[in-house]
Amino acid sequence: MQDFRNKVAVVTGGAGGIGKALVKALLDDGAKVVIADVEEGAMDAAVAECSGEGREVSAFKVDVRKPESVEALADFVYAQHGACHLLFNNAGVAAPSANIWETTPNDWAWIYSVNVMGVAHGIQSFVPRMIAGGEEGYVINTTSGDGGISSLPYQSVYASSKAAVCAMTECLASQLESENTRLRASLFYPSGGVLVTGLWNPERNRPEELTREKPGAPPPDIEAFKEAMKAAGAEMQFQDLDELARFTLDGVREQRFVIMKNLDEAAETLRRRSERYGRAELPIVFEEIPQM
């Protein structure tokens, strides 16, 4: 898919961060975009910010944890536009850092319901309709190097959820090709540097019924992180989200299965991990883990 003009795109988690950057990039390229998000206020603000002459953007409140909510989103998109050509399963949340034995059932229930089941629900509600439409289409699932490439030990819940997204997307892409559909799928790895997104405030959307059963580590603080890196003499590189979104759309045009900046570094990490597996060793080496 080279030309996004008049193509219909759906972006979950589209009200902020990487999602909103993707929305803006898609609109710049002439796509019709539906912002899907659980935060209604932020979603309305994003529509107002992204609207303009010649731009077609709308919003639909969705809770990707719930299949009926994602199905309602698909109903809305097809009622409004009659098609979906680009599906960005981008919504994601994170849990507090902790040893696995210090995590709680609700940590796992919440993260997996959004990060894993949210992607599955998106595929289940949209892909059959996209196949039936007979048009060229793309499914882009947001994963993370934390889990997709190598896992941060104290982010076991988040990392394992993103590893699941990788496995799911590999299977999806293979199935779409083997079934001779006109759809393709990609893994999008947010990358290129430190990303200032909603994951730095992970508890803001946590449902009351999935509240953590016991106190945990305080949520990450981007400003404290900056100060700690400065004190350590570490040079921080921040990734511009708008540039990352444009990079992602280029990856779709080029039909890359893996859309990731600095892919050669990730490949080297995977090579070293593979060698450790081959020696029956633990693939995680603490000395190689970025201190975040």
Give the pLDDT confidence of 16-43 residue by residue, as tens digits: 999 999 999 999 999 999 999 999 999 9
CA dihedral 259→191→88→247, nearest 10 degrees, is -60
Cα–Cα distance measured from residue 36 to residue 55, given in angstroms and rounded to the nearest whole number: 17
Tokens of 106: 């609700």
Q: Where does the pLDDT of residue 197 fall: very low under 50, low under 70, confident under 90, or very high at 90 and above?
A: confident
Q: Where does the pLDDT of residue 54 fall: very low under 50, low under 70, confident under 90, or very high at 90 and above?
A: confident
- A 10 A CB-CB count for 222 gives 15
Q: Where does the pLDDT of residue 228 fall: very low under 50, low under 70, confident under 90, or very high at 90 and above?
A: low
pTM of the predicted structure, to 2 decimals: 0.92
Cα–Cα distance measured from residue 145 to residue 147, given in angstroms and rounded to the nearest whole number: 6
Evaluate whether 18 touches 197 at the Cβ level (below 8 Å): yes
High-pLDDT (> 90) share of the chain, %: 76
Tokens of 60: 């639909």
For residues 195 and 250, the model is more confident at 250
**Superfamily designation of domain 8-227+237-263:** NAD(P)-binding Rossmann-like Domain (3.40.50.720)
Cα–Cα distance measured from residue 70 to residue 34, given in angstroms and rounded to the nearest whole number: 13
Catalytic residue set? 158
From the list 34, 108, 36, 41, the residue with the least C-alpha distance to 69 is: 36
pLDDT at 291: 41
Q: What is the pLDDT of residues 230-287, one digit of tens each?
A: 666 666 788 899 999 999 999 999 999 999 999 999 999 999 999 999 999 999 876 5
Q: What is the pLDDT of residues 122-174, one digit of tens each?
A: 999 999 999 999 999 999 999 999 999 999 898 999 999 999 999 999 999 99
- State how beta strands 32-37 and 8-12 pair: parallel
Rounded (10°) angle between helices 117-133 and 105-115 = 20
Measured CA angle at 112 (ends 110, 116), to 5 deg: 140
What is each CA distance from 163 to 77, 151, 272, in whole angstroms? 29, 9, 18
Measured CA angle at 292 (ends 248, 36), to 5 deg: 40
Q: What is the pLDDT of residues 72-117, one digit of tens each?
A: 999 999 999 999 999 999 999 998 888 999 999 999 999 999 999 9
Enumerate the β-bridge partners of residue 286: none
Rounded (10°) angle between helices 105-115 and 156-178 = 30
